[in-house]
């Protein structure tokens, strides 16, 4: 009933939404909607436990939630999230919760084009708002970027650009980086483009973060 | 902007974040790359390298040596100097923990002054890196140890599983029921075998107790055993118990169990096996029954068995074997030497030789052996044996039997004695008739001639000697007949005390004055039925033997000769008469004659009743004395026991059956019949040598005599003789009609005819005669004038036939 009522709510403006504080589910602190975080982990159980809370929290907050799975098939990942405590709606209700293969999501045409992906994020957010949801949140397993897909070298650029997208479309995002798969230098770059980072379930403000414009100017100059 | 020597907060924050982030970076390469990128932002740092555990990140030939030296210097001195390389200051900072130096951080500085404020923070980062590496090393070691442990556990588990599977397979395929019960006796495990044993599945059994499958009394009995074992925490073994199968039939089970203890040593249950004992119980019952039957068969047959194993030198005896040899069956069989000692020396020697021969030749033996006895009756066995061989035919021992043949031996001896009696009897009987007739002729003629010789002393002496010789001959014949039990007896109820007292004077004369005669009559003596004359003869014979045994002064060794005659009432039981088949248990009167003479050795004792066996010098004994005593006692259904040993005197005990009738008046006390004459006597005898002298004697005594040579002539005389006939004096054995038949025939013609029979020996006819002669007197040949006078007179004086009493003829 609450959700039905919620769905009948009027869309709010981006500015209002940007000021909305959201619960991430795994920490008591609330963060503004549209927070872009990287989660650097080396423990599968830890990441599953925290992300399941993050997904469950979003659904409970009347947000749409998207999950981009890379390591395991979506069905398995769905089961794991539920086993981790996330109360997911039936798979037919893909408007509220959608779990999709990361590679197919990021590279639908077999090539990673950051602009296209960023537009999909905007569209997703807008559809959610338009549908009367309180907001939108997403999380993706970023190991797809290690598969050598064309365009995956633009990952950091893409991550920097997200920070510009969420200003108008405050979609909350957690990018999952497996420290066992990504090398230290890449992880340092990842830190540069995420204003917030999560280590062992603790959310920290990232001192290495560089504003996207400055980072991109420098980054594009180097590359 | 901050000054050159000021510490920037964002830099410190980054350094702190590095410390946080390093922890999630799994590899040294990542750590090194992350650090290098992080340190790039630290003021004054131009570049950095990480020398971790001998590897430089990133690889650099230029700095390889520098890093190695720096680490070596630090290890030896705890510090290392800064260096100038290509004009740049290069400093080395250790990555270490208290335990280990993990490497060096090599920093190339372009502004040493700008860097200096951050040196301490970078050191901290180094420490975090070292700590992270150490923790990971510990974790790696722990992981390795855990992996090794897990591998070991896995291996042991696999081994255990195999072992358990083997055990389970063993448990589930064994014919026994394997179970475990808790401290309350409830099954907590049951192997599937229970279904075949009791008809219940293991699931049905678990939770129940063994006692749920027993009848209440059996459950109570077994529970007591189980509780006892449990309280003592000891195993129980082969407890037999009876259970009920699901279908109701009884199953005998043999249970064994071992306590299950907890870590404190307390009994928490039992684990064990049950075995179907039903079939074995049946077999054991059958074996026990067979063993019992064998034992009983051995007892009844008086055959004991034994088995000797030469290899182990062990021997087993059956219970009957123990009994035969008189050994305690609760003890092991005695050794061979002790066993041999159970026989007489001769038998032991024969047995020993037979055993040796068997072991040498492999042939068995069968021997009749006499066992050593301590003064008791001799005992005999038949020993049979065969050798035992192993699979290849070697002799490995002996097995055999011993059959107690004592009774058979006794029966054989008695049969032999009976045969002897029979042959002697036939001999005596065969000659007695004619012999007594001849003696009658001799005695009668001698007596008649004596009457006529007057004062001619020489003739008188000669006739007396003829007469004495004839009397001795008559005695000899009579003793032979007595021994052979062919003598006709005239038994009557009498008191033995009276009989003995009547002959004491005669006995004293027989034994002589130097032997003291002691008479010990038993009180309230029971009556017996016996021929008094034969009792006299028995006592006389025993007295003569006793006298002879006490005449040897050397043998007497200074003892004064003493003969004791005693009587007593005795009751003989089964055991007492066991060796006397003619006798039955009951009340007897004992007549005992004891002397303190030289006694008899075993050989003499064994032959004492043999006819013509004598220890006396030639001419001093007939060898018929004891044989006669034996015959008389047997004829009276009595028994005789002799105890004697060399130098210890002899005791002869006669036992005569008690009769309840009152004693007859003493015949000897009756008045002597007066002499008669004038009566007519019909004398019948087929033997002329008897007929004529007897006729002459009768005439001499004043009787009228009608003489017939046989029955036909006698009947003719009776028919033709007009006057009365007072007495029939007839021989018993005659051709044609015998004397008894003649009497009966004559009594039909002349009722009330008194009869006096004469007989030399009536043989087998005597019982018949005896039956028919109730009221008829019998005069034994040979006949003297005196005997004839007394018998005829007594007969004539008696009441008319047939109420006359039968009076035995005197023994002379």
A219 CB neighbour count, 10 Å cutoff:
18
Mutate which of B7, B13, B25, B50 to test chain A, going by most A C-beta atoms within 10 A? B25
Statement: residue B402 has pLDDT above 80: yes
Residues 26-65 of A with CB under 8 A from B: 40-42
Closest-CA residue of A relative to B16 is: A207
B14 Cα to chain A: minimum distance (Å) = 6
**Under 8 Å between Cβ of B749 and B718:** yes
- Phi, psi torsion values for B731, nearest 5 degrees: -65, 155
Q: What is the rounded average pLDDT for all residues in chain B?
A: 83
Query: What CATH number corresponds to the domain at position B73?
Result: 3.30.450.40
Closest-CA residue of B relative to A204 is: B17
Do B48 and B109 fall into the same domain? yes
Question: Can you give the pLDDT at residue B231?
Answer: 87
**Under 8 Å between Cβ of A6 and A62:** yes
Contacting A with CB below 8 Å, chain B residues are: 10, 13-14, 16-17, 20-21, 23-27, 29-38, 41
A45 Cα to chain B: minimum distance (Å) = 14
Out of A179, A189, A207, the one facing B26 most closely (by C-beta) is A179
> Is the Cβ pair A199, B34 closer than 8 Å?
no
Residues of B in contact with A196 (CB under 8 A): none
> Is the Cβ pair B20, A183 closer than 8 Å?
no
Mutate which of A180, A188, A198, A214 to test chain B, going by most B C-beta atoms within 10 A? A188
Do B639 and B535 fall into the same domain? yes
A14 Cα to chain B: minimum distance (Å) = 31
Regarding predicted confidence, which is higher, B771 or B701?
B701
Conformation bin of residue B586: beta by default, left when phi > 0, alpha when psi is -120 to 50? left
Q: What is the pLDDT along chain A (223 residues), one digit of tens a residue?
A: 233 323 333 444 555 565 789 999 999 999 999 999 999 998 999 999 999 999 999 999 999 999 999 999 999 999 999 999 999 998 776 689 999 999 999 999 999 999 999 999 999 999 999 999 999 999 999 999 999 999 999 999 999 999 999 999 999 999 999 998 998 888 888 989 999 999 888 898 888 899 999 999 988 877 6
B612 CB neighbour count, 10 Å cutoff:
13
B430, part of any domain: no
Do B365 and B242 fall into the same domain? no
A132 Cα to chain B: minimum distance (Å) = 39
* R_g of chain A, CA atoms, integer Å: 16
Closest-CA residue of B relative to A187 is: B34
Structure tokens at B807: 């009076």
Question: Can you give the pLDDT at residue A93?
Answer: 66
B410, part of any domain: no
User: ipTM score of the complex?
Assistant: 0.74
Give the model confidence (pLDDT) of B591-646 as tens digits. Answer: 999 998 888 888 788 777 776 666 665 555 566 678 778 878 887 888 888 888 88
Do B226 and B132 fall into the same domain? no
Between A and B, how many residue pairs show a Cβ–Cβ distance under 8 A? Answer: 60
B153, part of any domain: no
> Is the Cβ pair B29, A184 closer than 8 Å?
yes
Q: Which of B388, B404, B420 is the last residue of a domain?
A: B404
Buried b (16+ CB within 10 A) or exposed e, B37-63: bbbebbbbbebbbbbbeeebbeeeeeb
> Is the Cβ pair A184, B31 closer than 8 Å?
yes
Separation of alpha carbons A100 and B4, rounded Å: 51
Give the model confidence (pLDDT) of B739-780 as tens digits. Answer: 888 988 998 888 888 888 888 765 545 555 444 444 567 788
- Phi, psi torsion values for A174, nearest 5 degrees: -120, 120
Out of A185, A188, A199, the one facing B24 most closely (by C-beta) is A199
Out of A40, A185, A208, the one facing B33 most closely (by C-beta) is A185
Query: What CATH number corresponds to the domain at position B789?
Result: 3.40.50.2300
Buried b (16+ CB within 10 A) or exposed e, B519-539: eeebeebbbbbbbbbbbbbbb
In chain A, beta strands by DSSP E: 21-23, 30-32, 36-41, 63-69, 97-101, 135-141, 172-178, 196-199, 202-205
B150, part of any domain: no
Question: What pLDDT band is residue B489 in, cutting at 50, 70 and 90?
Answer: low
Please check whether residue A95 touches B, CB under 8 A: no
Structure tokens at B172: 């589930």
Query: What CATH number corresponds to the domain at position B510?
Result: 3.30.565.10
B10 Cα to chain A: minimum distance (Å) = 6
Mutate which of A37, A40, A184, A202 to test chain B, going by most B C-beta atoms within 10 A? A184
Separation of alpha carbons B240 and A91, rounded Å: 70
**Those residues with Cβ within 8 angstroms of residue B798's Cβ, 6 or more apart along the chain or in another chain:** B754, B804, B805
B446, part of any domain: no
Number of domains chain A is built from: 1
Q: Are strands B314-317 and B303-309 parallel, antiparallel or unpaired?
A: antiparallel
- How many CA atoms, within 13 angstroms, populate the side-chain half-sphere of residue B34? 30
Do B266 and B293 fall into the same domain? no
Closest-CA residue of A relative to B14 is: A207
- Whether the bond between B802 and the residue before it is cis, its omega within 30 degrees of 0, is yes
Residues of B in contact with A185 (CB under 8 A): 33-34, 36-37
Query: What CATH number corresponds to the domain at position B348?
Result: 3.30.450.20
Please check whether residue A188 touches B, CB under 8 A: yes
> Is the Cβ pair A184, B13 closer than 8 Å?
no
Do B578 and B683 fall into the same domain? no
Residues of A in contact with B24 (CB under 8 A): 40-42, 179, 199-200
Number of domains chain B is built from: 5
- Which structural domain, as residue segments, surrounds residue B576? 489-659
- Phi, psi torsion values for B312, nearest 5 degrees: -95, -5
Regarding predicted confidence, which is higher, A1 or B484?
B484
Query: What CATH number corresponds to the domain at position A141?
Result: 3.40.50.300
- Which structural domain, as residue segments, surrounds residue A214? 2-222
Do B312 and B368 fall into the same domain? yes
Give the model confidence (pLDDT) of B410-431 as tens digits. Answer: 777 777 766 776 676 667 666 7
DSSP for residue B804: P
What is residue B268's three-state secondary structure?
Answer: strand
Q: Are strands B250-261 and B267-276 parallel, antiparallel or unpaired?
A: antiparallel
Helix or strand holding residue A85 (H, E): none
Residues of A in contact with B38 (CB under 8 A): 188, 208
In B390-464, beta strands by DSSP E: 395-404
DSSP string across B538-596: HHHHHHHHHHHHT--HHHHTTPPPEEEEEEEEEEE-HHHHTT-TT--SEEEEEEEEEE-
A116 Cα to chain B: minimum distance (Å) = 30
Q: Among B42, B46, B34, B38, which residue's Cα sits nearest to residue B8?
A: B42
B246, part of any domain: yes
Separation of alpha carbons B28 and B22, rounded Å: 10
Helix or strand holding residue A154 (H, E): none
Q: Which of B219, B249, B276 is the last residue of a domain?
A: B276
């Amino acid at each position: 009933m609450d959700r039905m009522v919620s769905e009948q709510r009027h869309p709010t403006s981006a500015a209002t939404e940007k000021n909305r504080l959201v619960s991430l589910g795994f920490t008591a602190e609330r963060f503004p909607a549209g927070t872009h975080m990287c989660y650097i982990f080396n423990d599968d159980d830890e990441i599953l436990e925290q992300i399941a809370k993050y997904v469950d929290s979003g659904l409970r907050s009347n947000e749409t939630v998207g999950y981009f799975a890379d390591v395991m098939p979506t069905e398995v990942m769905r089961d794991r999230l539920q086993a981790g405590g996330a109360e997911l709606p039936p798979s037919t209700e893909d408007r509220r919760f959608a779990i999709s293969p990361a590679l197919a999501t990021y590279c639908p045409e077999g090539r990673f084009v950051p602009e296209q992906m960023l537009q999909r994020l905007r569209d997703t957010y807008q559809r959610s708002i338009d549908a009367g949801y309180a907001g939108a949140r997403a999380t993706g397993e970023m190991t797809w970027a290690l598969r050598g897909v064309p365009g995956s070298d633009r990952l950091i650029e893409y991550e920097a650009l997200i920070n510009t997208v969420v200003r108008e479309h405050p979609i909350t995002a957690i990018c999952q980086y497996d420290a066992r798969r990504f090398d230290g230098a890449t992880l340092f770059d990842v830190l540069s483009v995420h204003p917030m980072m999560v280590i062992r379930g603790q959310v920290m403000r990232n001192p290495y973060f560089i504003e996207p414009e400055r980072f991109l100017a420098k980054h594009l100059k180097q590359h | 902007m901050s000054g050159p020597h000021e510490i920037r907060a964002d830099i410190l924050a980054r350094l702190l974040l590095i410390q946080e982030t390093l922890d999630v970076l799994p590899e040294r390469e990542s750590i090194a790359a992350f650090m290098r990128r992080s340190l790039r932002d630290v003021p004054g740092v131009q570049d950095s390298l990480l020398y971790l555990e001998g590897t430089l990140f990133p690889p650099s030939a230029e700095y390889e040596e520098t890093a190695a030296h720096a680490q070596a210097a630090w290890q030896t001195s705890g510090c290392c100097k800064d260096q100038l390389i290509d004009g740049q200051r290069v400093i080395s900072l250790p990555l270490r923990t208290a335990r280990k130096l993990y490497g060096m951080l090599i920093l190339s500085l372009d502004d040493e002054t700008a860097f200096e404020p951050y040196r301490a923070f970078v050191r901290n980062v180094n420490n975090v890196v070292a700590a992270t590496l150490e923790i990971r090393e510990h974790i790696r070691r722990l992981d390795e140890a855990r992996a090794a442990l897990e591998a070991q556990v896995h291996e042991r588990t696999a081994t255990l599983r195999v072992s358990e599977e083997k055990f389970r397979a063993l448990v589930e395929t064994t014919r026994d029921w394997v179970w475990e019960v808790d401290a309350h006796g409830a099954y907590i495990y049951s192997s599937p075998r229970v279904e075949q044993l009791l008809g219940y599945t293991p699931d049905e059994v678990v939770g129940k107790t063994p006692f749920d499958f027993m009848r209440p009394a059996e459950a109570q009995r077994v529970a007591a055993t189980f509780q006892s074992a449990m309280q003592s925490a000891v195993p129980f073994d082969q407890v037999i118990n009876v259970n009920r199968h699901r279908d109701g039939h009884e199953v005998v089970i043999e249970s064994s169990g071992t306590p299950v203890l907890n870590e404190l040593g307390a009994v928490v249950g039992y684990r064990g096996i049950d075995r179907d004992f039903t079939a074995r119980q049946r077999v054991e019952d059958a074996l026990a029954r067979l063993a019992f039957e064998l034992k009983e068969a051995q007892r009844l047959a008086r055959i004991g068995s034994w088995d000797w194993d030469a290899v182990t030198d062990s021997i087993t005896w059956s219970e009957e074997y123990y009994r035969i040899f008189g050994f305690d069956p609760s003890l092991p069989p005695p050794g061979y030497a002790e066993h041999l000692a159970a026989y007489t020396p001769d038998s032991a020697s024969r047995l020993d030789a037979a055993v040796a021969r068997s072991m040498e030749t492999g042939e068995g033996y069968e021997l009749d052996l006499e066992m050593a006895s301590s003064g008791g009756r001799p005992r005999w066995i038949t020993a049979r044996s065969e050798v035992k061989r192993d699979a290849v035919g070697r002799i490995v021992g002996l097995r055999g039997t011993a059959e107690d043949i004592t009774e058979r031996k006794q029966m054989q001896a008695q049969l032999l004695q009976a045969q002897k009696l029979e042959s002697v009897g036939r001999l005596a009987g065969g000659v007695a008739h004619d012999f007594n007739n001849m003696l009658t002729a001799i005695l009668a003629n001698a007596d008649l001639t004596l009457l006529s010789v007057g004062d001619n002393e020489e003739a008188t002496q000669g006739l007396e000697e003829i007469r004495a010789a004839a009397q001795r001959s008559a005695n000899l014949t009579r003793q032979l007949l007595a021994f052979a039990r062919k003598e006709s007896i005239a038994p009557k109820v009498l008191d033995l005390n009276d009989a003995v007292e009547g002959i004491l004077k005669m006995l004293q004369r027989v034994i002589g004055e130097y032997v003291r005669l002691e008479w010990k009559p038993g009180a309230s003596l029971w009556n017996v039925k016996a021929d008094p004359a034969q009792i006299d003869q028995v006592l006389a014979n025993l007295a003569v033997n006793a006298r002879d045994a006490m005449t040897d002064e050397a043998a007497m060794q200074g003892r004064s000769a003493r003969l004791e005659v005693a009587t007593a009432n005795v009751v003989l039981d089964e055991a007492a008469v066991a060796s006397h088949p003619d006798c039955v248990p009951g009340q007897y009167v004992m007549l005992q004659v004891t002397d303190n003479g030289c006694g008899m050795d075993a050989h003499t004792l064994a032959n004492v009743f043999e006819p013509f066996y004598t220890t006396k010098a030639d001419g001093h004994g007939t060898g018929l004395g004891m044989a006669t005593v034996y015959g008389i006692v047997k004829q009276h259904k009595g028994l005789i026991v002799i105890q004697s040993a060399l130098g210890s005197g002899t005791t002869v005990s006669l036992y005569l059956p008690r009769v309840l009738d009152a004693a007859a008046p003493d015949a000897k006390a009756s008045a002597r019949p007066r002499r008669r004459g004038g009566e007519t006597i019909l004398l019948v005898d087929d033997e002329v040598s008897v007929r004529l002298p007897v006729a002459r004697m009768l005439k001499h005594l004043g009787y009228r005599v009608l003489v017939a040579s046989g029955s036909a002539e006698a009947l003719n005389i009776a028919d033709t003789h007009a006057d009365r006939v007072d007495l029939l004096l007839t021989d018993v054995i005659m051709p044609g009609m015998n004397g008894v038949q003649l009497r009966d025939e004559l009594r039909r013609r002349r009722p009330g005819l008194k009869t006096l029979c004469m007989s030399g020996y009536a043989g087998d006819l005597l019982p018949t005669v005896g039956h028919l002669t109730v009221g008829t007197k019998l005069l034994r040949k040979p006949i003297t004038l005196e005997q004839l006078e007394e018998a005829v007179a007594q007969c004539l004086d008696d009441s008319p036939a047939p109420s006359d009493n039968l009076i035995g003829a005197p023994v002379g």
